[in-house]
Amino acid sequence: MGLEILIFLLVGVFAGTLAGMFGIGGGVIIVPALIATFIYLGFDQIIITHLAIGTSLASIFFTGIASAYSHNQRQGVVWKAFYPLSTGIAIGAIVGAIIASNISGNSLRSLVGVFLLIIAIQLISSFEIKDSKKENNFSLSILSGSGIGMASSLIGIGGGSFTVPYLRYFGYEMKLCIGTAAACGVPIALFGSLGYLYIGWSLENTPAMSLGYIYLPAVIGISATSILSARIGVAITHSLSDLVLKILFSLFLIAGALYMLAI
């Protein structure tokens, strides 16, 4: 149990820092780490991937609150963009959890890995393109939020990998995209984890100290350190230029894609 808790605490440090820097929940780090840990602990192979995803989302809820709060303290959240997006996200996150219960973990990870790679290539290719302000509307935001929530819930991430490029398209500066994405990660994590709790509630092969597909010792350990380290990530973000953030975020997406395709 000692080694197990140490792993969760270390994962929380990395996840929290990334959450603050890039407006993500840290699921790209959390999910692979949990899968490896659950295999080591001898959990049932059939449920490991979904248990890792549900646990990741539950952890991201607490990390996301800390990250969003810190960004908001620096006026880094565009609330008029958040509200319509979060409405769609709530719906999509629940739907994503239900869909995930009928799809293998390997298929989910491969699909999202490819998608992250596509987004990274798009960001890299537009480094020298001047951003222009495009018009958005409430209906489009709800629809887009539903897609972001569903995709994020399927794989156990906070959604920043999808939300940041979406907001960049409408001309918001990178720091505002990251801060708003951090806020959007909270409803993704809340409704997504509730979905995984529900679909795994009646299973008999989940480990002790689990609520459905949520493993509580991991949630506590990861959240304990990620909440503190999220502030460090936020401070780093607000000390860097937009161009540097775009480059770092693209590299992060590529790393995330390789994680998803390799595990």
DSSP reduced 3-state for 104: coil
φ, ψ of residue 129 in degrees (nearest 5): -85, 130
If pLDDT is split at 50, 70 and 90, which confidence band does 126 have?
low
243 pLDDT higher than 90? no
Listed as own residue / partner, the contacts of 235-240 with beta carbons closer than 8 Å and 24 or more positions apart are 235/20, 236/17, 236/20, 236/21, 237/20, 237/21, 237/22, 237/71, 237/76, 237/175, 237/178, 238/74, 238/76, 238/175
Residue 133: what pLDDT?
59
Give residue for tokens 């990274």. Answer: 120
Residues 6+ apart with CB under 8 A from 127: 243, 246, 247
Three-state SS annotation for 101-115: CCCCHHHHHHHHHHH
pLDDT digits (tens, 9 = 90+) for 204-231: 899 999 999 999 999 999 999 988 898 8
Tell me: pLDDT of 149 over 90: yes
Q: What is the mean pLDDT of residues 15-31?
A: 80
> Which is higher by pLDDT, 17 or 135?
17
Q: Using DSSP, state whether 202 is helix, strand or coil.
A: coil
250 or 119: which carries more pLDDT confidence?
250
On the question of pLDDT at 134 being above 70, the answer is no
| Radius of gyration for the alpha carbons in the chain, expressed in angstroms and rounded | 17
Residue 9: Cβ-neighbour burial (10 angstroms; 0-12, 13-18, 19+): middle
The mean pLDDT value for 151-169 works out to 86
Specify the higher pLDDT residue, 108 or 239.
239
Above 50 in pLDDT, residue 129? Answer: no
Report the mean per-residue pLDDT for the chain. 86
